[in-house]
A and B are shown apart, each in its own frame.
Chain A
Amino acid sequence: MRKQALIYMPKYGLLWLLLVAFSSFAQTDSIKKIKTPKHYFTPTIFTDYYANPSINLDDGLRKSTNNPTVRNKLKNYQYNQFVGGFYFPIATKDFHHADGSISNLHLLGTGNYMMGMPNFSGITNHTLLKASVGLRSIYNTGKKLIWFLDITPFMSTDLSANCYTSYRWAGAFLVDYMVSPYFSFRVGVMRSFMYGNRYHLPYVGLRFGRLDKTYLSIQFPRNITISVPAGKYLRLSAYIKPMGGVFNMANNDGLYTKNNDKTILYGRYELITGLRVDATFNQHISIFASAGFTGIRSVSLYSTSENQDNQFVLNNFYNQQVPRGAFINAGFTIRIGRAKSIYNNYSIYETFNLNTTIDTGDNNTNTGDGNIPNQTKTSKPVNNLKIKDVQDLIEAQDMY
């Protein structure tokens, strides 16, 4: 063993010397021993439940479909969905620059499990699954620019009947320019299925107002939101956003009769308008509840065989405009562990907001910005302050 080490010594000598020098440097420099949190993002898990009531597909609509035969089979329509997801930091790297600023690179792993339950009273119930595991990378220059890249490959299948599993991917590439904490804009491109079809869309976003105060955010094609803090723990929002997706669905009800297709694609799109309240109890836990109306709304069915070689917008064999209705939406977010301090760091606030605006599973759900503390004018003393609460803020001699 020793002999082997001696043989390799000249070859890797320089590397070995560097390692020894580095380790001895680390031992003598006491600062290096201080262990601070590694990441700005904490591992985060979230849930999101969405439902709207049963509705007759033709109610109040003059011309609702391009395929009355399929429509007559489907009858009433109701939709529920449950989303569970997570993201976690894989690596974070801070870069210190000569002008004193700090930039940082974040690599996040993402995962998403979504069950969509479209219930048509005329056919069997389906539980459609979409599950994804993805990666996203964010580079915050610490000044004005933030770069964002997300790749989300996902699988889609029908849990309730025999069906093929398909693999697709969604993604986004954005550049965010924060002119000041009061104004930012974003441009980029995204590949998404949330409009009930496969689209490659430009992204244009504008935000007016500080993220920790009242702001108006126009993020095409994801949402338009007005958000207002209500005290330290609550945030109220009014928003408009699209929701939807494309899912594999078993053709066990014979909705598509050509080519002997066993699997068809179910596409759903809704433009929803709602009010939302987010409660952030502390940096680790927040919940939200929302309700409102779905306006423009449609259901599409696509043949898999007809679209086999189609890499862009899918061609449907059935498209149905769905009457307006109500919806409810609720969920919670849990952030685990400690993160680096981010107080008043507006480029990190912007990074957090970018991360929540582009959700992890291309469902356009929103976990909320619970990790951005609301800015409130408070000078109230902290109740029940104990020495252990402040022991790492003050020095020993301060106590005397």
Chain B
Amino acid sequence: MKKRAYILCFFTLLVASVSFSQSTKREKIEALRVAFITQKLNLNTDESQKFWPVYNEYQDKVRAARREFKKQPETFTTDKEAQEYLDAELLLKQQELSLHKEYYEKFKKIIPIQKVASLRQAEEGFKKELLKQLQGKSNE
């Protein structure tokens, strides 16, 4: 009986580890991004304490909007599907712009405006790093 319980536990852990390996990669990317932005913005303790909860919320919303858009089919067989894709793309752009506007206002309350401007540069810099890694892989 005990042996069965141990085997069950072992397999539960194994299955869980394998199925969640994708999320580990994602956590690494997030950790790298946090390190990248922290270094670029040079936030003090008080700024950092207020900035990260708001920035995380902003990122959750942007990510959710992009995930929603990625659900669209990439090939279209009818005009209706193509129109839906275009509508979804416009909606995404609109959502991203609204979020940028909304959260830049929030960031300005928390950190100096120069750091808010640097945030955009830091985000772009991090994206470039990611793209470089992707490009390096495709060149191999």
Contacts and interface: CB of A to CB of B under 8 A. Distances in A.
B86 interface: no
A281 B50 contact: no
A325 B123 CA distance: 55
B120 interface: no
A344 interface: yes
Contacts of A100: 50, 54, 106-107, 109-110
B61 A34 contact: yes
Interface in A249-300: 281-285, 287
A67 B58 CA distance: 65
A34 B68 contact: yes
Nearest to A180: B45
A80 B23 CA distance: 35
A386 B22 CA distance: 11
Contacts of B22: 389
Given A181-B49, A284-B23, A285-B16, A393 B127 contact: yes
A345 interface: yes
Interface stretch (A124-132, A240-248, A377-385): A377-385
Interface range on chain A (Cβ under 8 Å from partner): 35 or more
B115 interface: no
A393 B63 contact: yes
Nearest to B110: A100
Interface stretch (A190-198, A220-228, A334-342): A334-342
B131 A346 contact: no
A251 B33 CA distance: 61
Main secondary structure of the interface of A (DSSP, over half): loop
Contacts of A94: 57
A14 interface: no
Interface string B90-128: 010011101100100011011000000000000000010
A235 B29 CA distance: 21
Given A30-B98, A100-B110, A343 B34 contact: yes
Interface in B31-68: 31-35, 38, 45, 48-50, 52-54, 56-57, 59-61, 63-68
Interface range on chain B (Cβ under 8 Å from partner): 35 or more
Contacts of B60: 36-37, 340-341
Contacts, number: 157
Given A100-B54, A285-B17, A340-B56, A391 B70 contact: yes
A378 B89 CA distance: 36
Contact of B95 (A34, A340, A389, A391): A34
Contact of B53 (A181, A348, A379): A348
B25 interface: yes
B61 A285 contact: no
Contact of B67 (A181, A340, A392): A392
Contacts of B84: none
B39 to A, nearest CB: 10
B80 interface: no
Interface of B: 9, 12-13, 16-17, 20-35, 38, 45, 48-50, 52-54, 56-57, 59-61, 63-68, 70, 89, 91, 94-96, 98-99, 102, 106-107, 109-110, 127, 130-131, 133-134, 137
Interface of A: 30-31, 33-37, 47, 94, 96, 98-102, 142-143, 180-181, 232, 281-285, 287, 332, 334, 340-348, 373, 378-379, 381-387, 389-396, 398-399
17 contacts: A33-B68, A36-B60, A102-B57, A180-B45, A232-B31, A287-B13, A332-B13, A341-B56, A343-B56, A382-B28, A389-B25, A391-B66, A392-B67, A393-B29, A393-B127, A394-B130, A395-B66
